[in-house]
Copies of this chain bind each other. A is one copy, B any other.
């Protein structure tokens, strides 16, 4: 940082990561437009694909606000990609499951996404992609993320 070049400043690594992360998010969003899904809808379907779960469990998996999940599930249910039914054992609970149509959309979206990902990372060899994954998995995403109210 002390030794900077003449006119060009080196962008901080965190800024670079944030910028390209936003780019990846935008890429995902665009790739999924043809499926009528947002990245979050897709992640929801992905979790549902492993079996029925309560909304509470989904909230934990997706790390979203309960009210956000309600909206997501309303969309999926309207399009008949998922459905809610009461848990007979605890009638407060909703058990959410994916429909066959939902599973189909998920599979198609997975293919579309694989192609889009391929384009995004064409300039990285498979080895380098694995390396990138490992490096990303070793950054401290949530060290003091608990102090999130404000300070």
Contacts and interface: CB of A to CB of B under 8 A. Distances in A.
A64 interface: no
A21 interface: yes
Given A17-B24, A21-B21, A23-B142, A7 B135 contact: no
A110 interface: yes
A20 interface: yes
Contacts of A46: 9
Interface stretch (A69-77, A78-86, A92-100, A122-130): A122-130
A135 B135 contact: yes
Given A14-B121, A20-B21, A131-B135, 4 more contacts: A14-B113, A17-B132, A119-B143, A128-B138
